[in-house]
Amino acid sequence: MPSALLIVVGLVGLLGGAELVVRGGSGLAVRLGLTPIVVGVTVVSLGTSMPELAIGVDAARQGNAGLAVGNIVGTNLVNLLLILGLSALISPVTFDTRTLRFELPLMTGASLLLVLIALDGSLGTVDGIVLVLFGAGYTYGVLRSGRRESAPVKAKYDASYAKPARTWVDVLCLIAGLAVIVVGATLLVDGAVDVAISLGVSDAVIGLTIIAIGTSAPELVTTILSTVRGDRDIALGNLLGSSVYNIAIILGITVLVAPGAVEVPSEVLESDLILMAAAAVACVPVFLSGRRMTRLEGALFVTAYAAYLTWLLLTRA
C-alpha cells in the first residue's frame, strides 16, 4: 500500500476509533456512577487523546522517538494556537471561573514541566512516572471540582453525556474503537516513516505537521461546530483537558512502555517544545484580561500558528 494511502487510512481509523471510544467510554462511565461533568472533562478528553497514545507507543517501540514526541508537541500547538484561535476569531470566547482557576494553570504547568524534564535531551522512566503522576493529580482535581460545579454547568454536561445506550452497545463500541485505533496507528506510523524517508525529512517533522493536524481533527471540528452553534463551553473545556492529558498521561505512558529512554530531538527541544510552552504561557494573560479572548487575539494565535508552520516547512522540510 502506498505511503500516502497508509497515512489516510490510518488517520480515518484513528478518528473513527476515537469516536467509538468516546461514545462507549462515556456511556460506561455514566453507568458506573460518574457524573456527566466528570465524564466530559476526563473520559472524553482521554478518548480524543487515544490516537496520540497509540501513535506514541507504536513509534517509540519502533525506535521513532521523534515521531512520538513531535506528535504530542504538534498536537498541543494545534489545540492552543489554531483551534482556540479559530474559535475566538469566529466569536469572542468568554472563560468561566473553572477554566481560569483549574484548566489554565494546570495546562500551563504541564507544558513547563515537559520542558524542564526534557532539558537533558531524553525522557526516561522517572520522567514518565512524574508525567503520569501529574496526570493522576489533574484527574483527582477534576473529580473533586466536579462535585462543586454550579447547577447551570452541570445541566450542560447532563444534556451532553447523560444519555447512555445499552451496556453491551457501550462495551462493543469501546472494544471496537480501541482495536481500530491500534490498527490505524500502526498504518499511520508505517506510512509516516516511509514518507519521512522518501522526502528526506525527520520523523519529528512529520509528527509535528501531518500527524498532529490529522489527530487534532476531532477537537477542531467539535470546537468550530460548537462555536457556530453558540454552545462551546464543553468543547473548550475538553480542548484544554486534552492538552493536559496529551503531555501527562499520553506522553508519560509512551515513555514508560518504550524499550529505552525516549530521545527528544535537538531541533524539537530547541524550537518546537519551547514554542509549545510559550503558547501555553501566552494563554495566561489572554485568558485573564477581561476573562475573554477577543477576535484580535484569536487572529494573532492563528497567525502565529500559520507562521510557525510556514517556518517549519521552509527550514526543516
| CA angle (230, 235, 239) in 5-degree steps | 140
Full domain range(s) for residue 238? 3-316
Domain total of the chain? 1
> SS3 of 178, please?
helix
The pTM (predicted TM-score) of the whole model is 0.85
- Residue 148 sits in a domain whose CATH number is 1.20.1420.30
**Tens-level pLDDT at each residue, the chain (317 residues):** 678 888 888 888 887 887 788 778 777 777 777 666 677 667 777 877 888 888 888 888 888 878 889 999 999 999 999 999 999 998 898 887 778 888 899 999 999 999 999 999 999 999 999 999 999 999 998 888 766 666 666 666 666 666 666 777 888 888 888 888 888 878 888 888 788 778 888 888 888 988 888 888 777 877 777 777 666 777 787 788 889 999 999 999 999 998 888 999 899 999 999 999 999 999 999 999 888 899 999 999 999 999 999 999 888 86
In one-letter notation, the amino acid at residue 274 is I
Q: Which three cell numbers stand for residue 128?
A: 514518565
Q: How far apart are CA 311 and CA 157, in angstroms?
A: 40
Q: For 78-89, b where at least 16 C-beta lie within 10 A, e where not — what string?
A: bbbbbbbbbbbb
